[in-house]
């Protein structure tokens, strides 16, 4: 028995291994996905209370379950704060993996010039804690780095710096006791010198034109705030050579010790040559060896020598290692001289360490600033390489709209934005590319060039770029339903929007031909793909319901939700009803924007009964029987299966019978949709001509 009291005016979805519950303004539905679930529902009383929160708060319903003897798992109970936080994060990370955000993060971070910069770039891009204000700062940093690239004189290239050595040198200096080594000292000198020249170049640019300081903000402030001890760089370079060795001139004690080593090595070399010449016969084999820093002679197997010596080792395969007695005193002196060299070098490095200790905090701040600049530079270089456009990032109209990209960025940057100034657009993204598809295209072109393909083939491959998509979604739209044929590009459209939202939030430019206007989303949730949840023993359909249930309960009024083939995988009538209920729920009290793809024709009609819905479809070229991957806005998709089968030569009797079974009404609807598509295409062509004439 299932008893329920519903007070909601909007839908809510909850899912588990056993049951999925749906509430709409007019009906309460539950779906049992197994015989065990049905038995459980019939054997145990379950009461459901659904209450709606005010619209100005988080756009979701709260649902509490209670039963004296409930068989349902703990997932139906409200988790504690820690588990809830983990669950939300898991849903977010799962959605980002579905969108292949990890691949894009790897790509962007590859543009960093240091190892620590690459790690920091990945960590920053994967952060889910960016606030709206922080996202604006990240975008401003990227824009400033692009300006620096275009200026040319202030390049943020730190490829000559080994930040790992800098960090290890700072750690050693702070610990005390052992001094830093020569390579660490040179790494410190390199980072200070690089920062110093960056400051000099920035000062020169500002001297040429004072406006550059503001154009490069906040990077100009970050660069100018670095405290650099130039005298420390000079001291390091005076005593450390470029190859990482301590110079002879570093100290008089070191010079004397090294001279003594050279003198002793020369004497030992002469002594060994003399001994070997006296022993040389036609059948003899003698050579000089160095064992633990001591000069010795390696004689052939079983070969006797006339000089006395100490047998250090004897092997049947390699012969005998002998230290001549006459060489023992010289070897002892040599060991002492080398110890003196090591002591003198350690004294020099200890002196450097003591000098560095006064500036450790400043050096560490410079190191952190260089990592930060490297991360920013990676974002900017990625944008320049793929020709991205700086997005205008805005909060939803329900929040305070006074603090937006237009007010945060400089007036000059705002004037450069080319998106329409009307506030009708929630999302304005013309000719946007899927970043990973564009990367794959570039890789294919580079591979063809590397393999020596002829110029015509390379040119043809270069021209076959991925097809960009246009997204124009008005403020009143809460749910966009995209229909169209299989392999028509619907899923790519979803991923393009999802990745663009994450890119803008993370301070990246969006790969669009024009400036983009995009909302700031606190989270991007996605249910895309056809994977079964084996870990929870869920079928494909149940797995999707579980994922959508989590999305529905976790999304807020600032979230973006992407649903692929909503309502698919079950009986078409039930799937269509489920899809309609879900989308109505999201439209009324769900995310800021929901984009769903579907094959269910019933979902197309939602637009005509609810202003929060909008239709779009993927264009299909019936002449060539292939998709164009372009979006037609305001037009619901139509069925192409029967027309395609006719063009492919299916017998006319079968086609006619299919049309009759499909129904005359559906045929008439398709004819209307055809006219709408033609009208849209004609209007787009006229609009393009008008823009061309205006230009």
- What DSSP line would sit under 76-126, residue for residue? GSPP-HHHHHHHHHHHHHHHHHHTTHHHHHHHHHTT-SSHHHHHHHHHHHH
Distance (Å, rounded) from C-alpha 460 to C-alpha 446? 13
pLDDT of residue 456: 77
Q: Taking the CB of residue 315, how many other CB atoms lie within 10 A of it? A: 9
Summarize pLDDT for 430-467 with one digit per residue, the tens.
899 999 998 988 888 888 888 777 777 777 777 778 88
- H helix runs in 426-539, sequence order: 435-450, 455-463, 490-505
CB of 470 closer than 8 Å to CB of 429 = yes
For helices 163-175 and 182-208, angle between their N-to-C axes, nearest 10 degrees = 120
Per DSSP, the three-state class of 511 is coil
* Domains with residue ranges and CATH for the chain: 100-247+354-387 (1.10.1420.10), 252-277+284-341 (1.10.1420), 388-397+423-433+468-637 (3.40.50.300), 640-694 (no CATH)
pLDDT of residue 136: 94
Distance (Å, rounded) from C-alpha 588 to C-alpha 23? 12
Distance (Å, rounded) from C-alpha 114 to C-alpha 118? 6
Q: pTM for the full model?
A: 0.73
Question: Is the pLDDT confidence value at 372 over 90?
Answer: yes
Distance (Å, rounded) from C-alpha 577 to C-alpha 568? 11
- Rounded to 5 degrees, what are φ and ψ at 430? -85, 140
Summarize pLDDT for 557-612 with one digit per residue, the tens.
899 999 887 766 565 667 677 777 788 888 887 789 989 888 766 666 676 677 88
pLDDT of residue 464: 77
Distance (Å, rounded) from C-alpha 667 to C-alpha 638? 10
pLDDT of residue 520: 94
Distance (Å, rounded) from C-alpha 598 to C-alpha 481? 7
pLDDT band, very low/low/confident/very high, at 687 (cuts 50, 70, 90): confident
Residue 411 CA, chain-centre distance (Å), reads 30
Residue 582 CA, chain-centre distance (Å), reads 30
Find the mean pLDDT for residues 33-62: 36
CB of 550 closer than 8 Å to CB of 505 = no
pLDDT of residue 640: 62
Q: Taking the CB of residue 638, how many other CB atoms lie within 10 A of it? A: 22
pLDDT of residue 671: 57
pLDDT of residue 413: 41
- Classify burial at 191, counting beta carbons within 10 Å of its beta carbon; exposed 0-12, middle 13-18, buried 19 or more: buried
């Amino acid at each position: 028995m299932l008893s329920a009291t519903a007070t909601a005016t909007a839908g809510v979805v909850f899912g588990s291994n056993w049951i999925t519950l749906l509430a709409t303004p007019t009906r309460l539905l539950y779906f049992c996905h197994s015989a065990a679930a049905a038995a459980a529902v019939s054997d145990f009383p379950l009461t459901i209370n659904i209450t709606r929160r005010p619209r100005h708060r988080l756009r979701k319903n709260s649902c509490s379950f209670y039963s004296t003897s409930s068989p349902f798992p703990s997932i139906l109970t409200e988790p504690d704060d820690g588990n809830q936080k983990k669950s939300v994060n898991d849903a977010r990370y799962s959605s980002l993996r579905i969108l292949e955000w990890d691949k894009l993060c790897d790509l962007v971070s590859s543009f960093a010039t240091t190892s620590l910069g690459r790690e920091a770039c990945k960590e920053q891009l994967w952060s889910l804690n960016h606030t709206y204000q922080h996202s604006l700062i990240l975008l401003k940093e990227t824009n400033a780095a692009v300006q620096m690239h275009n200026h040319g004189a202030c390049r943020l290239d730190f490829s000559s710096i080994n930040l790992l050595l800098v960090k290890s040198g700072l750690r050693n200096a702070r610990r005390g006791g052992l001094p830093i080594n020569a390579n660490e000292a040179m790494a410190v000198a390199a980072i200070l010198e690089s920062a110093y020249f960056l400051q000099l170049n920035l000062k020169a640019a500002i001297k040429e034109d004072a406006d550059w300081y503001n154009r490069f903000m906040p990077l100009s402030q970050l660069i100018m705030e670095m405290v650099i001890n130039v005298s420390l760089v000079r001291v390091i370079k005076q005593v450390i050579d470029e190859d990482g060795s301590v110079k002879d001139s570093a100290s008089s004690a070191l010079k004397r010790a090294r001279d003594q080593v050279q003198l002793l090595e020369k004497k030992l070399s002469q002594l060994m040559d003399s001994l070997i010449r006296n022993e040389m016969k036609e059948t003899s084999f003698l050579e000089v060896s160095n064992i633990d820093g001591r000069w010795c002679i390696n004689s052939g197997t079983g070969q006797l020598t006339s000089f006395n010596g100490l047998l250090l080792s004897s092997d049947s395969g390699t012969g005998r290692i002998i230290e001549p007695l006459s060489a023992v005193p010289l070897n002892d002196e040599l060991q002492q001289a080398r110890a003196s060299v090591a002591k003198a070098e350690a004294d020099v490095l200890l002196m450097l360490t003591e000098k560095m200790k006064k500036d450790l905090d400043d050096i560490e701040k410079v190191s952190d600033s260089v990592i930060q600049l490297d991360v920013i530079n990676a974002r900017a270089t990625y944008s320049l390489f793929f020709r991205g456009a700086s997005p205008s990032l805005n909060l939803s109209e329900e929040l305070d709209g006074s603090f937006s990209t237009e007010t945060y960025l400089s007036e000059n940057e705002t004037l450069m934005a080319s998106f329409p100034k009307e506030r009708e657009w929630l999302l304005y993204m013309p000719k946007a590319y899927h970043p990973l598809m564009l990367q794959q295209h570039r890789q294919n072109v580079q591979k063809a060039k590397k393999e020596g393909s002829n110029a015509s083939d390379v040119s043809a491959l270069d021209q076959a770029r991925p097809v960009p998509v246009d997204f124009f979604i008005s403020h009143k739209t809460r749910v966009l339903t995209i229909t169209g044929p299989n392999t028509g590009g619907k899923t790519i459209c979803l991923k393009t929007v999802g990745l663009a939202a994450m890119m803008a939030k993370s301070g990246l430019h969006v790969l669009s031909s024009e400036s983009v206007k995009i909302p700031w989303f606190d989270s991007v949730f996605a249910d895309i793909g056809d994977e079964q949840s084996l870990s929870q023993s869920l079928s494909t359909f149940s797995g999707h319901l579980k994922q959508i249930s989590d999305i529905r309960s976790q999304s807020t009024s600032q979230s973006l939700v992407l649903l692929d083939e909503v309502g698919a995988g079950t009986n078409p009538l039930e799937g269509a009803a489920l899809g309609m209920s879900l989308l109505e729920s999201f439209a009324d009290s769900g995310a800021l924007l929901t984009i769903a793809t579907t094959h269910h024709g019933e979902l197309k009609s939602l637009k005509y009964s609810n202003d929060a819905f909008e239709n779009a479809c993927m264009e299909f070229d019936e002449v060539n029987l292939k998709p164009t991957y372009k979006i037609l806005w305001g037009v619901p998709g139509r069925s192409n299966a029967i027309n395609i089968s006719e063009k492919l030569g299916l017998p006319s009797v079968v086609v006619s019978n299919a049309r009759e079974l499909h129904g005359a009404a559906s045929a008439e609807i398709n004819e209307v949709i055809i006219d709408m598509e033609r009208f849209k295409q004609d209007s787009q062509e006229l609009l393009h001509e008008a823009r061309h004439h205006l230009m």
